[in-house]
Chain A
């Protein structure tokens, strides 16, 4: 049993409250213009100071900060790390619960392709949160490590799911006004999100413009003013925990029926669809991604993890058609390729593997990655 957290910083707002209750206007009437000038000066000064402080220092307990702290340590734990290839797995909950990066490292080594595997994954994230996580990771590296990373051979593999273009507003609103959204929607990222959304608006003018604009502006402002950075009332320094990026799931979701899901999926797999390719936001998102990581990445690839959800598999197929030239797309997995994974105890639900299934999913992905890697893997 851990002791309760020392929420001692509550003393700061309490002192501010006492100052507020004690202060009164002077003998002359206050001047509103002067008051607004002081407010503008203090807030302006804060903004200048804030711009020098990275988010992970203001919100050291955020999921991104904790995960990137683990990734930094994992990447640089061996002195000659930059002589081995580095694999970036950038995904969401399916990768987070289903792919064990350390197991994958061992399997890649066994297959003669040793590499350091870094998993940038968070349950429920979206494209812009992925971008934010990569930014935070790169910013947190020491300058010499950044240089080494740029020289090392880096393979990028992004998990394919519909965060790239489907319901972008829904995905933003899902986390709206949470710490996660305040962090990843910093002004530059909010602008990127708007940039991608505009492409959708061009196709579908009925999509709500004001709601998205409002949401992004609000979060960008909250980010700049560090809203809620001390809401835990706990002191910050050196409190950032390292969180490994793999969380095996125990058991199966109570509402999930494997046999029914499998039957529905097999029916879907047997039918032919003529779905269109993904709309323009996908291309914009990929451009954002490439602009951020192209100085480091030598090879791009995407993977559709095995799924029993028809919509995800369909999207995977559509994505493969629209993927940028030269990028390998692994999956979607259908037919006999899916057979070894079709055991009820492997599936938490139609998307996420259980802890028992995760090693099998990891083995599958490691094998697929090895088959798509270029023959030379030396820097």
Chain B
């Protein structure tokens, strides 16, 4: 049912490769050597396009178009006679770009299948469209900016360069986090001063992200891919291992990328908000979405859920709005029915969660320790199961995997291939319960130790990192 996922990022600049280190090694010192933001901002503007053009220089024009639409659109919204019409026009144009590049083939293919199932013989074929890396992220940012200007929560940016720096800021250009205009644009108005504490904090975050991505996620990718490639050939225990591995892999991959992006932004003196907050500690689906991909869930809440009516109407409307939001959130992840199913399942789970929260039993059990454990396990089970359609090659594979998992209790526990269980479990436990738990209260303050730990950690990371090309999972979105 679902075709192979395109390798979109094969030539993109990846944070964990030498080209990026060279790029950073050139841009960063030059940036801080320049006397003021008057020079630094144009440098960042150019650096953004070089970074994006490294993947495919032709798409720098697309990015430039998005910036231009935002620039002139916001001007029209702020000064024009009919701001609403201009907003719709600009947002419509952005969504049309997204729709063409990301969804045209998907809907054409779906329509072709539907027509064929009705006995018709459709003649149209797939278009040869290359999906620009990160288009979903910068288009969402562009919409956030235009809507914010329309609502009056953000002042129109009068400088094309500053707007270009915001929309195309290279650390988060291709895989987020999605930065709201109100968070970033004000930073462009204040003078950047080199702060060694922020600078070192940037390296520390980058190093943590490097471990998440290159050591944990990438080393899990091989065994996980092998199992998801042909789940019917594996025993229930191995299939469970593959699912557990992906549960960890997707978190470490995306949280790692986000941390590296935040760290690189810190190196340039900018701050990006956290995108993950130990989501596997969540004890409800609502809480999970407050901790997972925070920038997307906030965007969906502000620009989709609330405009749909949010929780202002009757309960059934709240549930409907939740479902629509998550359905579209699933579709945002990719032109693939598996993602739609994943989003819909989360929409359903959120609705059930909201319905439960309104009951007397929920109020009675709130804070009860035993209930918290049950709620935690139930939440993580839902999240775990929802990742299966997200990662599977097809609905058929999803069915096979679920049936294999159902056999877990009734068959001999035997793995069909060696699986790195400790790699799948220990980093997750460490991140969720040590770093995200008691570890948050620990802090050793020493500059000398900071330097040494950073250097040693990078070295250990190199020794343990996966060799080979492993793009960030979220590049494809």
Once bound together, how far apart are the Cα atoms of A215 and B344, in whole Å? 44
Checking A1, A13, A30, A218 against B461 with a beta-carbon cut-off of 8 angstroms, the contacting residue is: A13
Asked if B12 CB lies within 8 Å of chain A CBs, one says no
B464–A230 touching, CB < 8 Å: yes
| Interface pick from B64-72, B167-175, B448-456 | B448-456
- Chain A residues whose CB sits within 8 angstroms of the CB of B439 once the complex forms: 18, 21-22
Asked if A10 CB lies within 8 Å of chain B CBs, one says yes
The verdict on A178 contacting B463 (CB below 8 Å), with A25-B447, A35-B200 known, is no
Return the CB mask of A292-311 against B: 1 if under 8 Å, else 0: 00000000000000000000
Checking A17, A25, A38, A233 against B455 with a beta-carbon cut-off of 8 angstroms, the contacting residue is: A38
Asked if A325 CB lies within 8 Å of chain B CBs, one says no
B467–A12 touching, CB < 8 Å: no
Asked if B208 CB lies within 8 Å of chain A CBs, one says yes
The verdict on A25 contacting B468 (CB below 8 Å), with A20-B453, A218-B18 known, is no
Residue on B nearest A42 in the bound complex, by CB: B455
Asked if B152 CB lies within 8 Å of chain A CBs, one says no
The verdict on A20 contacting B207 (CB below 8 Å), with A35-B450, A227-B462 known, is yes
Checking B215, B419, B427, B453 against A23 with a beta-carbon cut-off of 8 angstroms, the contacting residue is: B453
B420–A7 touching, CB < 8 Å: yes
- Chain A residues whose CB sits within 8 angstroms of the CB of B455 once the complex forms: 38-39, 41-43
Checking B196, B422, B434 against A10 with a beta-carbon cut-off of 8 angstroms, the contacting residue is: B422
B207–A10 touching, CB < 8 Å: no
For window 310-367 of A, CB contacts with B under 8 Å fall at: none
Once bound together, how far apart are the Cα atoms of A29 and B207, in whole Å? 20
Asked if A291 CB lies within 8 Å of chain B CBs, one says no
From residue A350, how far is it (CB to closest CB) to chain B in Å? 28
Once bound together, how far apart are the Cα atoms of A39 and B203, in whole Å? 12
For window 1-45 of A, CB contacts with B under 8 Å fall at: 1-14, 16-32, 34-35, 38-39, 41-43
B445–A4 touching, CB < 8 Å: no
B418–A2 touching, CB < 8 Å: yes
B456–A231 touching, CB < 8 Å: no
From residue A64, how far is it (CB to closest CB) to chain B in Å? 14
B200–A25 touching, CB < 8 Å: yes
B423–A25 touching, CB < 8 Å: no
B445–A25 touching, CB < 8 Å: yes
Residue on A nearest B205 in the bound complex, by CB: A20
A20–B454 touching, CB < 8 Å: yes
B435–A21 touching, CB < 8 Å: yes
The verdict on A26 contacting B452 (CB below 8 Å), with A7-B422, A178-B468, A227-B462 known, is no
For window 145-180 of A, CB contacts with B under 8 Å fall at: 176-179
- Chain A residues whose CB sits within 8 angstroms of the CB of B469 once the complex forms: 176-177
A13–B460 touching, CB < 8 Å: yes
Among the interface residues A16, A29, A31, which one has the most CB atoms of the partner chain B within 10 A?
A16
Asked if B211 CB lies within 8 Å of chain A CBs, one says yes
Residue on B nearest A17 in the bound complex, by CB: B211
Once bound together, how far apart are the Cα atoms of A27 and B219, in whole Å? 37
Checking A4, A38, A176 against B421 with a beta-carbon cut-off of 8 angstroms, the contacting residue is: A4
B444–A24 touching, CB < 8 Å: yes
A20–B208 touching, CB < 8 Å: yes
From residue A178, how far is it (CB to closest CB) to chain B in Å? 6
From residue B269, how far is it (CB to closest CB) to chain A in Å? 13
Once bound together, how far apart are the Cα atoms of A214 and B461, in whole Å? 22
From residue B262, how far is it (CB to closest CB) to chain A in Å? 14
Once bound together, how far apart are the Cα atoms of A231 and B445, in whole Å? 31
Asked if A369 CB lies within 8 Å of chain B CBs, one says no
Residue on B nearest A3 in the bound complex, by CB: B418
- Chain B residues whose CB sits within 8 angstroms of the CB of A24 once the complex forms: 443-445, 450
- Chain B residues whose CB sits within 8 angstroms of the CB of A229 once the complex forms: 463
From residue A124, how far is it (CB to closest CB) to chain B in Å? 15
Once bound together, how far apart are the Cα atoms of A39 and B469, in whole Å? 26
The verdict on A231 contacting B451 (CB below 8 Å), with A18-B435, A31-B196 known, is no
Among the interface residues B18, B421, B431, B439, which one has the most CB atoms of the partner chain A within 10 A?
B18
The verdict on A26 contacting B459 (CB below 8 Å), with A35-B454, A231-B466, A233-B219 known, is no
Residue on A nearest B416 in the bound complex, by CB: A1
- Chain B residues whose CB sits within 8 angstroms of the CB of A12 once the complex forms: 460, 464
Residue on B nearest A8 in the bound complex, by CB: B422
From residue B432, how far is it (CB to closest CB) to chain A in Å? 12
Once bound together, how far apart are the Cα atoms of A226 and B461, in whole Å? 11
B460–A233 touching, CB < 8 Å: no
Return the CB mask of A240-263 against B: 1 if under 8 Å, else 0: 000000000000000000000000
A14–B427 touching, CB < 8 Å: yes
The verdict on A5 contacting B420 (CB below 8 Å), with A11-B426, A24-B445 known, is yes
- Chain A residues whose CB sits within 8 angstroms of the CB of B125 once the complex forms: none
For window 30-85 of B, CB contacts with A under 8 Å fall at: none
Return the CB mask of A192-231 against B: 1 if under 8 Å, else 0: 0000000000000000000000100110011001111111
- Chain B residues whose CB sits within 8 angstroms of the CB of A39 once the complex forms: 451, 454-455, 458
Residue on B nearest A39 in the bound complex, by CB: B455
A7–B423 touching, CB < 8 Å: yes
A23–B204 touching, CB < 8 Å: yes
B422–A20 touching, CB < 8 Å: no
From residue B413, how far is it (CB to closest CB) to chain A in Å? 12
- Chain B residues whose CB sits within 8 angstroms of the CB of A35 once the complex forms: 200, 203, 450-451, 454
B456–A42 touching, CB < 8 Å: yes
- Chain B residues whose CB sits within 8 angstroms of the CB of A46 once the complex forms: 459
Asked if A115 CB lies within 8 Å of chain B CBs, one says no
Once bound together, how far apart are the Cα atoms of A229 and B466, in whole Å? 9
Residue on A nearest B204 in the bound complex, by CB: A20
Once bound together, how far apart are the Cα atoms of A179 and B203, in whole Å? 27
Residue on A nearest B466 in the bound complex, by CB: A231
- Chain B residues whose CB sits within 8 angstroms of the CB of A31 once the complex forms: 196, 447
A22–B443 touching, CB < 8 Å: yes
Asked if B216 CB lies within 8 Å of chain A CBs, one says yes
Once bound together, how far apart are the Cα atoms of A228 and B462, in whole Å? 6
Asked if A134 CB lies within 8 Å of chain B CBs, one says no
- Chain A residues whose CB sits within 8 angstroms of the CB of B450 once the complex forms: 23-26, 30, 35
Once bound together, how far apart are the Cα atoms of A26 and B447, in whole Å? 5
B18–A30 touching, CB < 8 Å: no
Once bound together, how far apart are the Cα atoms of A11 and B204, in whole Å? 20
B451–A18 touching, CB < 8 Å: no
Once bound together, how far apart are the Cα atoms of A41 and B418, in whole Å? 39
Asked if A282 CB lies within 8 Å of chain B CBs, one says no
Return the CB mask of A38-71 against B: 1 if under 8 Å, else 0: 1101110010000000000000000000000000
Once bound together, how far apart are the Cα atoms of A7 and B466, in whole Å? 14
B462–A30 touching, CB < 8 Å: no
From residue A97, how far is it (CB to closest CB) to chain B in Å? 24
Residue on A nearest B201 in the bound complex, by CB: A25
Asked if B405 CB lies within 8 Å of chain A CBs, one says no
B199–A32 touching, CB < 8 Å: yes
Asked if B414 CB lies within 8 Å of chain A CBs, one says yes
B422–A231 touching, CB < 8 Å: no
Once bound together, how far apart are the Cα atoms of A21 and B443, in whole Å? 8
- Chain A residues whose CB sits within 8 angstroms of the CB of B468 once the complex forms: 177-179
For window 377-422 of B, CB contacts with A under 8 Å fall at: 414-415, 418-422
A17–B453 touching, CB < 8 Å: no
A226–B463 touching, CB < 8 Å: yes
- Chain A residues whose CB sits within 8 angstroms of the CB of B422 once the complex forms: 6-8, 10-11, 233
From residue B230, how far is it (CB to closest CB) to chain A in Å? 17
Given contacts A13-B216, A14-B430, A41-B455, 17 further A-B contacts (CB under 8 A): A4-B415, A11-B426, A17-B431, A17-B435, A19-B457, A23-B446, A23-B453, A30-B197, A30-B447, A30-B450, A32-B200, A34-B447, A42-B452, A218-B18, A226-B463, A228-B466, A233-B422
Ordered by A's residue number, 9 sampled pairs between the chains whose C-beta atoms are within 8 Å are A5-B418, A5-B420, A7-B422, A17-B430, A19-B456, A39-B451, A39-B454, A222-B467, A233-B219
Interchain residue pairs A-B with the least CB separation, the first 4: A228-B467, A38-B451, A42-B455, A39-B455
